[in-house]
Structures are given as C-alpha cells and as structure tokens.
Chains A and B, each alone.
Chain A
Amino acid sequence: MPNADGVWILGITMTRFGKHPDKDVVDLAADAALGALGDAGVKMKDMGVLAAGNLLGGGLGVGQQLQKQIGQTGIPVYNVANACATGATALRTAVMAVKAGECDFGLAVGVEKLAGAGLLAGKDRKADADTWTPQGRYGAVASVDGRIGTETMPGVFAQIGMEYGHRYGGTSFELFARIAEKNHAHSTLNPLAAYQKRFTVDEIMNDVMIAYPNTRSMCSANCDGAAAAVVVSGSKLKTLSLEQQRRAVKISASVLTTDPWEEACQVLPNVNTLTRNAAVQAYEQAGIGPEDLDLVELHDCFATAELVHYDNLMLCKEGGAVDFFESGATWRDGTTPVNVSGGLESKGHPIAATGIANIWEVCHHLRGEAGDRQIDNAKVGLAHVIGLGSACGVHVLERAAV
C-alpha cells in the first residue's frame, strides 16, 4: 500500500568537507551513514532500502562496499549516478521506496573523494591522429574541446550567466564577484566548510582567472566529503519517540527533472527550464510559494550559476535576478537567505555528496541546531542541485509541528 502519511527525514549528517587524506570513499560514506543512523536513533537492520551515489570513484557499487563495513542486511541497493545531482537522486530513490510503501525506513548516501582533482574539465587533449579521420556523432577529425567552444565546467557556467545578462541586462564581472563575496562571507560561520575565509570583492576579482567572468574564488571547491540521510514513513514516525518526532523534518516536496528539448539546449546546456519545472512542481507538491521560504540552498557551482537560479526558482520576478541580488535579499539577514552554508564556492563540492549536504544544511536550521549561523525561527527551506547533462533535484523541507 502506498504510504499516505508523507516521508520525513529522521536523521541526517554530513562530514566536514575538505581534505581527508587518511580516509577512502568507503570510510567517508561509513562516517556519514553511521552518523545519520545515530542521528535518527535507528540501526542498519531497520533500513529497507539503500541508495548510494559516488560519481568519480570508479569502483563497483559503493552501496555494497558500504554495506560490507556497516551492515550486510540483504536489502536492495540502488547505486545511482546523475552528475552533480547524484546525492539528490539517491535521496529521491529512498523517498520513492518509502512513498511506495515498500519499506518504512530508507538510507541515502552520497560520497566523493575529489581533493586535488584540479579543474573538472574535459579530457586531456591528445596529440592529433596521424591521419585526419572523422569520428563520433560530429564526424570530428580532431579534438573539439577548446577548438569549438569549451567543455570546462567554469566556462560552460560562465556562458550560462552571461546569457542571462544578454537577455535581461545588468550583469557585470563585479556583480558576479559580489555573489561570491556573499557566499564566502556566509562560510565564516560554517565549521564544516572546506574554506571559511571572507574575501573582498577586489580580492575575488583579482584572483586567478579560470573562465571569465569566473575567477578561482567564484568556482566551487573540489574536496572530499560525504553526506547521508535516513528517511521514514509518516505512519512509522508516529510510533517513534517524541524526541525523534520533534527533530524529524518533513519532505514536503521531492522532485527530479531533466531538461526538456528546446532550441539551443544541445548547443549550450540549458540549466534554466528544468530548474523552473522542478520548482513549479515542488511548490505545488508542498503547497507553498517561494515567498514562504526562510532559507534556500541552491547550486552555486559557480557565481554565474547562482544568479540564474534566483530566477529559475522564482525567488524573484522573471528577469529580476540582478535587482533581487542588489536588494540584499540573499544575504543571511535578507528576505530570502541563499547559501548561508557558504555554498559550493566555499563549503566545497564533493559531487555526489552535495545533493544531500544541501538538505542537511536546511534541516539543521529547521531543527534549530545551526548554532552561530542559525536563521531565526526557520520553518520552511528549499534545497536545489543541478547536474549537467542535465538533472535537477529540488526538495522542500518543513519543520515538524510537534
């Protein structure tokens, strides 16, 4: 029987993001998973499903490797991959299983070892072949990265921000730098962030240029990290302790979308329409509007990306993202605080962990446990991630009424 009482986050945790040279992928996943189980007050044997994501490890089945360290209970494991939306996809997989009534508890884990990975670009350019031979879907006789545009993420997302500027006006190098200034300022209150250093706009603009207008401090930081969440059905939650019920966070909406076809979307990835589609569905599922949000964690893989998602998530009126940012709305003392964790630019972006860590941040505030960076009386929050290719995850979370 499908579960009609909703799905809740019972326990959630993230490791510190940064360098963990003494830990491998399974160590980090185990830290996060055991942390989430402990936070939830349940055990591995209670879990009915495990969804696990690890994008760049290359190993077979991170979920099963994790089970072999923390509990081989024979439950189904879904190893998922959806670019930077992998963590959200793992959570959504566990949510779907609980929602379908297949089990009462599910565990979702995202983990990545990325420290020192450098630029996540395309493949190294090999020497051109001895003879020009057309290959692939474009009949290319030579590597096209750098010859026909760019495959680097900073360059792709730079164009996405610039395209917004071309359409609506008002963007500048300095504007994008000031978005990074905000997130780095927020990070000083987050002890789990990879970088917790405030920068001036000048420092950001004069940092090493990666892909104009994104300098190094406007790019997400490659790092190691893991995050995990235990989800529970609403009916099961009612049988648990009052303390568990009080700390549980309601998943008011859980949405995953891909990019619908439109002109140009196969030329430059369109991260806008699928995000807007996910947001529309999420607000409808949750029965709330963007004006109800007390905080938002959105996918600022680059400063240029954060701007367009103000609009895509409908935090501002269409075309109004620049004015919205200029109003101060997205600073932690503004009307819609965005990325009070420091965002991917300072907290870090261990790819498969990001989509659960964003949700951890929101839950932390909804539970009133965010310490120095607590957004007062936070009741509703939204977490957004996007993976190029593309996949977009949006979750709306609400504080328990207990």
Chain B
Amino acid sequence: MANPVPIVDYLVLDGPGEGGVPQYRAHLVANECAGCGARYFDRRNACANAECAGTDFAKVPVATSGEVKAFSIVAFAAPGIPVPFVAALVDCEGTSVRGNLINVDPDPEHVSLGMKVRLATYPLGTDSAGTEAVGFGFEPLSN
C-alpha cells in the first residue's frame, strides 16, 4: 500500500502512532521568513510584512500543542460539509493555526476559550489507488 498523503502540504506525517491506525504522529510546518521570522502556511511569493519584503523562506516545525484563542461551533455550512463541527484558531506557542477541534463533543459545555489542545490526525478515506489521505485537527490535551 502506498504511503498516506496529508490533506495539505504543511501537515507532515511522521509515521504510525502508538496503538496503530488510524492515528499518525504528525506535526505542522510553516514557511518562515528569513528576514523577519513571519510564518506562513501557503506557498509564498514574498513576505507580506512590508517592512521586510524578504523572499527567503525556510520550513520550520510548529509546536504541536497550543491554546484555543477563538472558536465557533458551525451548525450551518455549504452543502456537502457535515455539521456541526468546531472551527478554531489555536495559538501554538506563538504561531496561530487554523483547525477544527476534534475528539470532543461540539457543544459549548465541552469547548471553551483558553482550553489546551494538541495536534491530532484522522483518516479522510482512500482514493482509487488505495492511498489513504490524512486530515488533522486539535484535540483536548486532557483526553
């Protein structure tokens, strides 16, 4: 079977986790500007920090644990998207990351501002070649 592929190129799969499938050990990487240290997750043309405007970037690992800075429990989304889900902004030791909160009940009793979370992965399914894709989210640290 082919190696699994990450949902986005800034998710790096580090191999099977303890307890086997479907969890993968993983981390996120950012494109860090050599000039000012600004971090981006997309393919870059140049640094958006106008004071810098650098064009040199290096891949750097992002902390795998963090704190929920903002969230919304989305109950209504475009057709085809399962709801509800928890969209969140997670502060991973100074790098802000967008992701869903997973492995937690999507209600205000179980999700809160400031909660501590860590990166987690889940299977997205396999394509016609039998290759598995892997998604990521953040799960409560206290699980």
- Partner-B contacts on A (CB < 8 A): 119, 121-132, 134, 137-142, 144-152, 154-156, 158-160, 162-163, 165-166, 173, 208-214, 260-261, 263-264, 266-268
A160 to B113, CA, bound (A): 12
Q: With an 8 A cutoff between CB atoms, is B54 at the interface?
A: no
Residues of B within 8 A of A129 (CB): 127
CA distance A119 to B80 in the complex (A): 14
B61 nearest CB across to chain A (Å): 17
Q: Which residues of chain B have C-beta atoms less than 8 A from A154's C-beta?
A: 72, 74, 76
Is B73 among interface residues, defined by CB-CB distance under 8 A? yes
Which B residue's beta carbon lies closest to that of A152? B77
A123, A140, A141, A209: residue with the most chain B Cβ atoms closer than 10 Å = A141
Given contacts A131-B129, A266-B48, contact A124 B97 (CB under 8 A): no
B108 part of interface (Cβ distance < 8 Å): yes
Total contacting residues, chain B, CB less than 8 A? 53
Q: How far is the CB of B89 from chain A (nearest CB, A)?
A: 5
The yes or no answer to B25 lying at the interface (CB within 8 A) is: no
Whether A155 and B7, one on each chain, are in contact in the complex, defined by CB atoms closer than 8 angstroms, is no
Contact of A150 among B9, B74, B127 (CB under 8 A): B74
Q: In whole angstroms, what is the CA distance A229 to B30 when docked?
A: 46
Contact of A132 among B5, B70, B73, B74 (CB under 8 A): B5
Do the beta carbons of B127 and A123 come within 8 Å of each other? no
Q: A149–B76 contact, CB under 8 A?
A: no
B64-76 contact mask (Cβ, 8 Å, vs A): 1 or 0: 0000111111111
Contact for B43 among A137, A144, A266, CB less than 8 A: A137
B98 touches A261 (CB 8 A): no
CB neighbours (8 Å) of A132 from chain B are 5, 127, 131, 133
Complex Cα spacing A264 to B76, Å: 25
Q: Is the CB of A211 within 8 A of B80?
A: no
